[in-house]
Amino acid sequence: MKRTSWIPAIISLVLIAGCAPGSTKDTEVINEIEKDEEVATTIIPSLQISKDYYRTLLPYAPSKSRGLVVSNVYSKYDIKEVESGLLRLSQRTFSADDYLFQEGQMLDTATLRSWLKRKEEGDLGLNPVLPGGEITAELAKTNPIYLAHIVEQNYMVKTKDNTIKLGGVSIGLAMNSVYYYKVGDYGPYEQPIPQATIEEQGKKMAAEIIKRMRAMEGLENVPITVGLFKQEDRNSIVPGTYFAYSVADEGKALGDWNKLNEEYVIFPQPPSEVKYRKASDSFKNFKQDVEEYFSNYTSIIGTGFYQEDQIKKLTIDIPIQFYGSAELIGFTQYMTGLVMEHFPASLEVEVSVTSINGPEAVVIKKADAKEPYVHIYD
């Protein structure tokens, strides 16, 4: 169990050492978003570990809807991506150099639950009404649950008088691609939802959500980015992705919608998949060389992240039968050389070696880095 907690700690320390500028002190400011009567002092970390990450305000303020995503989103892969993907999307509007991150403080659990309900007379439900109050196969086609979850993220800015204020908000709408339902005691049944319908309903709901948020105190004039996220089905081993976004400028409604082209792909892929062939061939050659050295594994799985049809990151999981430290060290050294040999310099690669005891080693090759980061867990 103790091994698990070391992964983020070690990686974070290395990134700080590698990316941080000269040492400076953290900054204490007043947080204007706090709604309590007492004045809240907030710390701005002096170091930004990477241009890809926002600095996060301390002490850390959990989301006002904390925990709701776990019950609303199907898989652990989508739970992670609906939030991390929104962080990535937000940088198109809110630069990580100029904005600070804070989890959503404006939309609480009660608000989100009321919005995620089916529409009934006089309430705020965004999902379609269910005539008669009971689902049928026909109603599953015409009146499914489209919207599964809403993610809120806040982006803060520092002012000249040593305070921070809300500078922007990002909203992620997790849309179902499959509606799961029961008819009486039978089921669950599955009703796929076409992409065109997901997009149509998502844009319609986004416009209504912006309208409601503009009526809330503190949100009348801040820019708001809204992303549409398509969940994968419950059995998928890759997450869904954001496929469209729009920005409501200060005090305004949503502007034009922009398409996003992101995708997660499992490797190896069939040879017929031309778009993935080059990366898949590199992965296959890496896998074959690993198997020649070390056959005590169950499977080697790669997950590629694509943007605009170009692979940006490859994550590889290698489960092994662990026998001893010397064997692990030898294997990790050999495998690190294979990473540098088989994959292009421009590709970010992360390899995790695990056993029944937990994580054993990690190798991280950043894009265009001359040397990888390697760690073997004690």
E-state strands within the chain: 27-31, 41-44, 55-56, 100-103, 147-158, 163-175, 178-183, 186-192, 224-230, 241-248, 258-259, 262-267, 301-307, 310-319, 348-355, 358-365, 373-376
272-289 pLDDT, tens per residue?
788 899 999 999 999 999
User: Where in the chain do CATH 3.30.300.190 domains reside?
Assistant: 265-376
pTM of the model: 0.87
Predicted local confidence at residue 84, as pLDDT: 96
Please name every residue paired with 242 in a beta bridge, in sequence order, or none if there are none: 229
pLDDT at 19 over 90: no
- The residue-averaged pLDDT of 121-136 equals 90
CA angle (245 as vertex; 243, 249 as ends), nearest 5: 175
Predicted local confidence at residue 356, as pLDDT: 87
Is the CB of residue 59 less than 8 Å from the CB of residue 88? no
Cis peptide before 268 (omega within 30 of 0): yes
- The residue-averaged pLDDT of 265-278 equals 88
26-53 pLDDT, tens per residue?
666 666 555 444 556 888 888 778 888 8
pLDDT at 21 over 60: no
pLDDT at 11 over 80: no
Predicted local confidence at residue 15, as pLDDT: 31
Our measurement of the distance from residue 235's CA atom to the centroid of its chain's CA atoms, rounded to an integer in Å, reads: 18
Predicted local confidence at residue 16, as pLDDT: 31
- The residue-averaged pLDDT of 131-153 equals 94
pLDDT bucket at 95, cuts 50 / 70 / 90: very high
- The residue-averaged pLDDT of 232-259 equals 96
Predicted local confidence at residue 18, as pLDDT: 38
- The residue-averaged pLDDT of 168-178 equals 98
Please name every residue paired with 155 in a beta bridge, in sequence order, or none if there are none: 101, 168
- The residue-averaged pLDDT of 146-162 equals 94
Predicted local confidence at residue 160, as pLDDT: 85
pLDDT bucket at 373, cuts 50 / 70 / 90: very high
297-356 pLDDT, tens per residue?
668 999 999 999 999 999 999 998 877 889 899 999 999 999 999 999 999 999 999 988
Predicted local confidence at residue 48, as pLDDT: 78
- CATH of the structural domain 26-260, one choice from 3.10.570.10, 3.20.20.150, 1.10.600.10, 3.30.2130.10: 3.10.570.10
69-94 pLDDT, tens per residue?
999 998 999 999 999 999 999 999 99
Is the CB of residue 254 less than 8 Å from the CB of residue 227? no
Predicted local confidence at residue 13, as pLDDT: 27
pLDDT at 168 over 70: yes
User: Where in the chain do CATH 3.10.570.10 domains reside?
Assistant: 26-260
d(CA 290, CA 331): 9
- Can you tell me whether residue 233 is helix, strand or coil? coil
- CATH of the structural domain 265-376, one choice from 3.30.920.30, 3.30.300.190, 3.10.300.10, 3.30.70.260: 3.30.300.190
Average pLDDT, whole number, for the chain?
88
Predicted local confidence at residue 25, as pLDDT: 62
pLDDT bucket at 9, cuts 50 / 70 / 90: very low
- Can you tell me whether residue 178 is helix, strand or coil? strand
d(CA 90, CA 226): 9
Q: What are 218's two structure tokens? A: 């503190």
Q: Over pLDDT 70: what percentage of the chain? A: 88
d(CA 228, CA 76): 18
49-68 pLDDT, tens per residue?
888 889 998 888 899 999 99
- The residue-averaged pLDDT of 123-152 equals 94
Task: Give, in order, the Cα–Cα distances in Å from 34 to each of 30, 42, 160, 164, 217.
Answer: 9, 10, 18, 10, 13
Q: Are strands 163-175 and 27-31 parallel, antiparallel or unpaired?
A: parallel
Predicted local confidence at residue 274, as pLDDT: 87
Higher-pLDDT residue of 322 and 372 is 372
pLDDT at 17 over 90: no
- The residues, ordered by sequence, that sit 6+ positions from 103 with a Cβ below 8 Å of its Cβ are 60, 61, 62, 63, 66, 152, 153, 154
Cis peptide before 271 (omega within 30 of 0): no
